Structure 1
Amino acid sequence: MSAFILDRRAAVGAMLSFGLLSGCASATGRRHFFSRDPFGLGVAAGDPAPDGFVIWTRLAPDPMADDGGMPAFAIPLGWELAADPQFRTIVQSGTAEALPDNAHAVHVELAGLRPHRPYWYRFHAPGGAVSEIGCARTLPPPGAQVERIRIASVGCQDYESGFYTAFAHLAREEAIDAVFHYGDYIYEFGRRAKNPLRRHVGPETMTLADYRRRYAQYKADPDLRAAHAAAAFIPSFDDHEVDDNWAARHGKDGDPLRFAARKAAALKAWYEHMPVRAALRPGTATRYFRRFDFGDLVRMHVLDTRSHRSDQLCEPRRDGCRPAYDPARTMLGDGQERWLGNGLSGGSRWNFIAQQVQMMPFDVRRDGAQQAVRSTDNWNGYPHARQRIIDLIAQRRLTNVVVGSGDMHQHVVGSIPRNPDDPESPAIASEFLASSISSGGSGSPRHSFQQDALRHNPNVALLANQRGYQVYDVSRAHWNASIAVIDQVDHPGGRKTDLARFVVEHERPGPLRA
């Protein structure tokens, strides 16, 4: 049976009953309603501001089909925003066009709302289909004195490596102001032989249809849907949304023209499936780094560590390769470095540098090895670029910088030292690297081959090879971090515990066990 039924009179009547019909609903004048739930990918909110945020959904009654089971014309979609979860007080409502050129996804940029409070939203499709209800909070007013906010940090959710139970627990966390997703929302690989319980549909993603299908498979997961419905996300991307370890114009297959087409498809699909503003629609001048102010308490600088970086050296690692680090090499590009420097002088109580890959110096040698080994894909492979950030913090005499990161599939808590070549030198900033949601499988307290890792990394206070997420409860005097771990992701229903708690004092960089 077709995923949709064309019946203009029935659909128009249903839309009138919701007050959804508008003069610009569809250029073709065609209407339809659905024989299957068109909201199987859930709802989401993101990129909050003091007066609003983005609300998102995608119509896809047959998510694994190339077209999502949708017709090749625009569908008018109604939305409602309420001041209460029962929708007794409707604050705003309207219509949006779900266009085939955007995979029938909609991004509604709400404005005119009250600051620092929750709102509830939902969507209506022709024929009476209603989405689940989502909730999101607006940011505090600019410059307002704020006493407390809560931010979660998540990422790395390889579908084949395990279940998304961590997202189910995150959805139950209290009063989360925003969720920072550091990236690796999807993985581009085709089917692998790891986990027979969950399989990627289709081959390695190369085309727009491939990426759309992969996002649909991931977003249909009920635990991920629950997390999106519970709080506003601030998403960024790392490498697997495009291609493993990509850097600017460089992909892993060595063909620049082929990679350019692949990256364009990947970033379009990322935009289509993320609750972000139209300013992040991909184009030649799109700037993915952006800033969020939580009143005067936290200034959040969301970086893009992929689009502007120099290519990695000795990546993949090769025996005998010795990286030669030219000072001109960059992780952020000149423009983003200047932007970050300007933003760090904003006068907020805390500066949160939210980005994708580890910044602190870290020796990844295996037990028994005599020589230090450092990744060339994170900031350890861009030492001069990292030093420029460190010097900037030192010159401004900032004691309030916290770095958030991911990518490593482990929880890592530690300090960024003033001299990265001497990890025991004084801390210039704190770093909280959140573990993966599922990537790496269930894990263990420590990699079997890395029992001595803390001895080689004196700036690191915690290293845990377990899945989970982190929550930052921020006050004016303290940055409190809870490290959540899930006991297993091989089956649904994993249990969550708080492995550890850390605190950073406002005038004293470096995390302390609470």
Structure 2
Amino acid sequence: MPHLTRRAMLRGTTLATGAALLTRPGAAFAQPGTPFVHGVASGDPLPDGVVIWTRITPSPDALPGSGVGAPATVRWEVGTDATFATVVRSGSVTATAESDHTVKIDVTGLRPAQDYHYRFTAPDGTRSPTGRTRTAPATDTDVARLRFGVVSCANWEAGWFSAYRHLAARDDLDAVIHLGDYLYEYGHGEYGGRNGSVRLHDPAHEIVSLADYRIRHAQYKTDPDLQALHARVPFIVTWDDHETANDAWSGGAENHDPAVEGDWGARRVNGMRAYFEWMPVRGGGDRLYRRFRFGTLAELSMLDLRSYRDVQVPATSRSVDSDDRSITGRTQMEWLTGGVTSASAQWKVIGNPVMIAPILLPPLDTRTTAALTSTLGVPAAGLPFNADQWDGYAADRRRLFDAITANGVTDTVFLTGDIHSSWAAELPLDAAGQPAGATAGTEFVVPSVTSNNIDEILGVPPRTVSPAAEAALQTTNRHLRYVELDSHGFGVFEVAPAQAQMDWYFVSDPEDPAARVRVAASMATPSGSQRLVPAAPLPG
């Protein structure tokens, strides 16, 4: 989410009166029977397997990030019901300080489209909470419906994770798609909510070292609402920038000062290593983009738009149009276009960390304005609203859209986070030619769980400034079908043969731990249309 330069503004954020400094997560070991204080999680569902995860605290000194603590042998079980009357897979693994005593098992040999329960047992016989997970349908199976929770941008200091609590209360989700900014790197008071910091980050300083990133992951995993959601459904995740540092690119970040914080490459490795240790994601290297198949109905491609991108340029720079600049990197772009154009599944869904729809001020007809924009040295299609998005890498977007349209691909949907607000957009080949022009698909953007929205950034009451801004955005960019800039919450995304639909859910107040939730809007893209229409909320 764009905001004033972090080093100029965020340092000055005032802490909320009475904000309490939370104890280190490992301190909960002092309570009886809690070596699994960080809960359990599952992720990356395949037709025959799923990843299950936990973290054990084998001794009081084995705190996250400490690098100490004896090895501990942890037993794991996967059963067909919560009583584990029938255990279908089991084994043991040794957790060590080398991996911060995290445990991650890629369980194989499971049945497609099946609910399973899983648990872990410590050496002293203490059992973890029981988790529930679900495998994907077989690749050749006709599927009547899929439903996913969709979330992004959960800042610990800005509020409570009520969005996760409300998703965990549902019983209709196949998985949760997390589009990035699972955690934030800032220190105390550097990026709080409307009234400052609701609760304080651990460690107190901005995270840079491997120990720092591990401690921060551990803190987030103590949130009860996040624990409940992880224990309820598998997650399919990707990262955006705050898993390392704000506005990250392949060679640095806006929120990284080499003179103070050292080599960017080392910091990036620290953030990535902690992420693979602490998240229920398959693998453990540096490649996060990957693909999931859900029968004949849908294929989900999860992108990594931070690790390979070129440095951001100003929105006024004509360099945003350069063929030499990439947001995906060449290899990932080839993987993405190859997958989307050859997929045999009906719906091609892309988990997309930053917005791909053009938001231009205003969109220009390049056939009539090229001479003027060339003379001025500004982007040919109009000034981007945010050059950290695909708008700042227009050639890559054009390559992807051209591949989709040239190959006659339909039913393409992008699911997006990052921008702390809610949007629905058609994806025009020519933004100035909408609404009659051709489209390459549709995009649904979900709000933040807690991270600051427009009203909070401006310090004004909700729905005072934003309605006018929303109307202006839609008037100028006619491919936008829905914009809401103030609310926090989540999305529920359904894929069915006839259409794909997003319902936006807004929580009443991110600073209220008992926040309520409501359905705010629903938009659908009918099969074969590459267009958006209003819809009735999905039935429960």
Identify the TM-score tier after normalising by the shorter chain. Answer: 0.7 to 0.9
Q: Secondary structure at the match of 1:260?
A: helix
Q: What secondary structure is seen at the aligned counterpart in 1 of 2:111?
A: coil
Kindly indicate which of the two structures has a greater share of residues assigned to helix: 2
| Cα distance in 2, alignment partners of residues 454 and 52 from structure 1 | 43
Select which of 312, 325, 347 maps to 1:329.
325
Measure, in 2, the Cα distance between the counterparts of 1:76 and 1:250.
39
Q: Report how far residue 445 of structure 1 moved.
A: 4.8
Deviation, structure 1 residue 140 = 0.7
1:136-147 pair list within 5 angstroms: 136-147=133-144
| SS state at 1:185 partner | coil
**Residue of structure 1 in register with 2:163 after alignment:** 166
Residues in 2 aligned to 1:52 and 1:364: alpha-carbon distance in whole angstroms: 47
Q: Which residue of 1 aligns with 2:207?
A: 205
Aligned to 1:49: 46
Residue in 1 aligned with 2:104? 107
Counterparts of 2:448 and 2:129 in 1: how far apart (Å)? Answer: 26
Q: What residue in structure 2 maps to residue 357 of structure 1?
A: 354
Structure 1 residues 513 and 362 mapped into 2: Cα distance closer, same or farther (>3 Å)? same
Task: Indicate the SS of the match to 2:532.
Answer: strand
Spell out, residue by residue over 1:126-165, the C-alpha distance to the aligned partner (whole angstroms, 9 max, x if none): 2232111111110111222111111221110011111100
Cross-structure match for 1:459: 479
- Alignment CA distance shift 1:416-1:61 (3 Å): farther
Give the Å deviation of 1:67: 4.1
Match of 2:413 in 1: 402
Match of 1:233 among 232, 235, 244: 235
1:287 Cα offset (Å):
2.1
Q: Deviations over 1:109-139 (max 9, x none)?
A: 1011110011011111122321111111101
Q: Does 1:118 align with 2:120?
A: no
CA, structure 1 residues 153+364, in 2 after alignment: closer, same or farther (shift >3 Å)?
farther
CA gap of 1:307–1:69, structure 2 versus 1, over 3 A, is: closer
Inter-partner Cα distance in structure 2 for 1:351 and 1:324: 27
Contact 1:63 1:216 (C-alpha < 8 Å) held by counterparts = no
- Unpaired runs of 5+ in structure 2? 1-24, 363-381, 457-461, 536-540
Kept after mapping to 1: 8 A contact 2:139/2:296: yes
Q: Does the alignment pair 1:434 with 2:446?
A: yes
Farther-moved stretch of structure 1 (335-344 vs 401-410): 335-344
Partner in structure 2 of residue 483 of structure 1: 504
> Given the alignment, which residue of 416, 437, 450 partners 2:469?
450
Instruction: Determine if the alignment matches structure 1 residue 90 to structure 2 residue 87.
Output: yes
Give the SS at the match of 2:54: strand
1:382 to 371, 393, 405: 393
Q: Could you say if the C-alpha distance between residues 482 and 62 of structure 1 is closer, same or farther in structure 2, counting changes exceeding 3 Å?
A: farther
Distance 1:235 1:211, change over 3 A: same
Q: Deviation digits for residues 86-108 of structure 1, max 9, x if unmatched? A: 22222222111112111000111
Is residue 148 from structure 1 mapped to residue 151 from structure 2 by the alignment? no
Match of 1:512 in 2: 533
Give the percent of matched residue pairs that are identical in Structure 1 and Structure 2: 33
**Distance (Å, rounded) in 2 between the aligned partners of 1:324 and 1:430:** 22
Question: How many residues were matched structurally?
Answer: 471
- On the 8 A contact 1:154/1:179 being kept in 2, the answer is yes
Q: 1:97 corresponds to which letter in structure 2?
A: T
TM-aligned CA distance change 1:501 to 1:78, over 3 Å: same
Q: In the aligned structure 2, how far is the partner of 1:99 from the partner of 1:350? A: 42
- Distance (Å, rounded) in 2 between the aligned partners of 1:350 and 1:146: 12
Alignment match, 2:272: 267
Tell whether the 8 Å contact from 2:64 to 2:218 is kept in structure 1 after alignment.
no
Distance 1:445 1:364, change over 3 A: farther
| TM norm structure 1 | 0.86
Task: Give the TM-score normalised by the residue count of structure 2.
Answer: 0.82
Q: What does 1:294-313 correspond to in 2, within 5 Å?
A: 294-313=294-313
Which residue number corresponds to residue 411 of structure 1? 422
Partner in structure 1 of residue 375 of structure 2: none
1:287-310 Cα offsets, whole Å, 9 max, x none, are 211000001100101111111111
Query: How far has the Cα of 1:322 moved from its partner?
Result: 5.8
One-letter amino acid matched to 2:415? G
Residue 252 of structure 2 is matched in structure 1 by: 250
2:327 is matched by which residue type in structure 1? M
Superposition deviation, residue 182 in structure 1:
0.6
Distance 1:66 1:450, change over 3 A: farther
CA distance in 2, matches of 1:458, 1:231: 37
Deviations 1:328-359 (A, max 9, x none): 21111111111112211121110001110000
Unaligned runs of 5+ in 1: 5-31, 366-370
Bigger mean CA offset, 441-450 vs 172-181: 441-450
Measure how far apart 1:386 and its partner are: 0.4
1:340 to 336, 339, 347: 336
Structure 2 CA distance, aligned partners of 1:275 and 1:82?
18
